A and B are shown apart, each in its own frame.
Chain A
């Protein structure tokens, strides 16, 4: 296990050290990308935690690529307590060298356990964990739908706990999307009798319509710098991708096909990826955010790609493939490996580490949110909220 980790790390360093792309470098990239998917989880042994702390640690670590084993099989030993407050240590198995020692107070067990989980991930992998952002537990927004179609927009911790209603209109709602870096959401609501895109500040509770044209207004997505908004409007006669400023002004049309849906931005803000039809064949495409020719993204082997989301590191597009069932798939933007079909589910939304994503799965009308690690395919269902929950968006 340790030697595998070491060789993976070496491979990563080798890739980062090479400045120009030569044929053998491409081989390394392809091999590296191949190695990413289907990798074995990092085995750790957990001890001493019993209640909420244990539950939180198991959730957070599972969805970031760890598994739980007996100490003799573990690469790392994580020991601590969640009685009263959370404290814990991480030691390398065998040598027992302690690489992390923390104790927390002043917050809920849940919050402290999330913070500890992040530190465990950082100590073992060298990369930041995803459980905390901006001084609080990472958040998701999503929709909960009731029989008959009406529902509400909610926000919650990324594991489903602490859910709060954002809307209370009993109207059809859809596709919440965070404004980058802000506690504000865009979402579609039929509260005014038409699908309109609202902008809703979570700190003041005030909201207003930013796109309320006749026809369809839906699928809002903010640019990585928060300044622009992509969306689907049918005001020109067919559902197309349009872009405006974050407040809805400065509107311009980006596509002119018959049936486009689900725009998402590249992390550098240069491209918008979306689902479209090319002579009745459903495909994912990308277009320069400032306008220009469409390029198709290869999703070979996965039928009917839809609902794309671009990973923060720029490398992957997660999407829903619609075959006999819905599947969460990941395609490489550079086409270096074939698209990966991971688990049954829909509507993926990436976390900041570009390997964990939140999605929804389950029977129609009784969907639940779930969090997946794309590299190990391990996933955990979120704490259930009322109704059929779907279209989760990880806060940016």
Chain B
């Protein structure tokens, strides 16, 4: 271990010294931060409460991987005392709860943060680990148990969350990520891209050993890569219902980074994972603790007109780009619906799936810059989002679920279309 520490690890000497002081642990809580002083204090207290309530006999540590905070986030993590929690909870831990902070860089990089947490977990021989988002304002102490118990008690390797969400929240997940991951990999994970998840030490070590850390992306979408690595590696996966998902206000400009983190990561994983997904037929549900997914139905103000307009403008203006990516028939069909008025506009599931698969094949062939391919998907996604909003405007929770299920089956039905394109270009 000493040789490894001295020669192979990328961790700083100071951080290593702190880890050595901690010794072995049972539970590791990873907390990547970057200027989260507003929320991090309450999150650390919630984590401490969770450990007191659910794991009082376990040796636990909080590892804070910080990306250059200047607002004192790291001091808030290391300075939070478990004594502040005890009077309220009336509980006592039988072990010391450590909190260690390290600054891995002067700017945030989710990949490096996760790598730091995984390396620490491996060095401390943590049996079960959980990564939590520093922005989860509505985090509950029970989240720890929900994400860690399936690993500790039931031998699962990856625990992904499910949430209570509004039916129109997370449209990129419901319309692309979930159905495509399910159709290609055959595993129905609702939230493959999530900032909160639990995992076993063997999965952590497996992912840590994968030599994909210096790919120049700074770890964009590393959470999704982690989930896909678990699926491709045949690890045991389950889901756990956490409750309400934070609504983080996002603007139109957030769509492209979101596409890079999710769709870009998924498309880039398809190439090395081809032997895995090309042989999968159909899909299987993932064992879930609690509700599979809860849907909120209250009215939500959405600028539908703008979505459709940006789709139509995008299809017209990016014709030269789409000619390199899409087949003539798909492009012609998109141009046809782009000319339709708001009432008759309908971007069917079949056309959407074909579009996404053709984008994936174009990404594999690198017909143009891969990042440009991902950016070009943004206006098209807005068209699909518009149709989803219109279709589910008055839909019940059950109807919404049925529509999503229908889309998943469409992705599965058209999988041979992707395979055909993929193989013809190899």
Partners in one complex: no
Residues of chain B at the chain A interface (Cβ within 8 Å) = none
Residues of chain A at the chain B interface (Cβ within 8 Å) = none
